[in-house]
Amino acid sequence: MNQVVRTMMRHKTIRKYQKRMPSKQTIRTIVRAGQQAPFASQLYSVILSRDRFKQAYRAPLLFTICVDVHKFELIMARRGWKLRTNDLTLLLFGIEDALLMAENMVIAGESLGLGSCFLGFAMYRAENIARAFHLPPKVFPIVQLVMGYPDEDPPPRPRYPLDYTLFEGRYPELTDEAVAGAMRRMDEGYLEQDYYRKLRTKIKQEGAQKEEFSYDDYSWTEHICRKWGQWYPEADDLLLQLERRGFHIARRSKKD
């Protein structure tokens, strides 16, 4: 196992950071490594904040990774072109570009001794983030990433068994045994690390359902099922955030 793979296999989320600020050269190296990720059209930009007192976990660095069609429109204008591609296609390609860059930044940071944590709900706060960082139209914050020197050393989090992830030739019919085995791998791994108890995190059940889990048996599969079994049943809020940023996903052509 070479050093790159070893770094990737040891990845863990960091939520406690030292006060030490990474150097300007370290930051530039991390972002340059991010730029070397595969891309469709480099439809991304990164906004950096160093105000640790306003940032999650008081991390020294906050990177806001954005889908950015605005600056590409400026290039097209200089070439005498106007944008015709629909916003959904642009958004999906931009998400690919932005998230591939973000992952490269995480790996580069970890290879330099830094840790990080993704903040995944930037898309639902897009308008507030846009105001804070003066984002022009057609720039959409897709994810935020805090980073700094770790002040903790948690173990890597569990992952699905490889045979529940890698399917060769065709997608298989997943048996009850396979599903149960994947759930067991995740739940036992998180319980062994006492993950949710340490975070004091448990998603409340909506409605009149009685809480049946304690931190002795509340684990990943219950947590993730409560999240996606209750939250955001409609896309209206997200579509509104996108429209305010200039991406009109629900617009239909005149012939429809």
Q: What is the DSSP string of 32-93?
A: HHHHTS--SS--EEEEEE--GGGSGGG-SEEEEEEEE-HHHHHHHHHTT----S-HHHHHHH
| Class of the CATH-defined domain 3-154 | alpha beta
Mean pLDDT of 49-73: 97
Q: Is 253 a residue whose pLDDT tops 60?
A: no
Pairing of strands 44-49, 61-68: antiparallel
Q: What is the pLDDT of residues 166-207, one digit of tens each?
A: 999 999 999 999 999 999 999 999 999 999 999 999 999 988
Pair of tokens at residue 245: 């940023």
Q: Report pLDDT for 148.
A: 98
What integer pLDDT is reported at residue 200 of this predicted model?
Answer: 95
pLDDT digit string, tens, across residues 200-248? 999 999 887 889 999 999 999 999 999 999 999 999 999 999 999 999 9
pLDDT digits 0-9 by tens, 152-167: 999 999 999 999 999 9
211 membership: H or E segment, kind and range = none
pLDDT at 122: 97
Quote the pLDDT of residue 255: 57
Residue 70 above 90 pLDDT?
Answer: yes
pTM: 0.94
The DSSP element (H or E) to which 253 belongs, if any, is none
All structural domains of the chain with their residue ranges: 3-154, 162-228
Which residue(s) pair with 48 in the sheet? Answer: 63
> How far is Cα 136 from Cα 222, in angstroms, rounded to an integer?
40
User: Tens digits of per-residue pLDDT, 111-131?
Assistant: 999 999 999 999 999 999 999
On the 0-12 / 13-18 / 19+ scale of CB atoms within 10 A, 85 is exposed
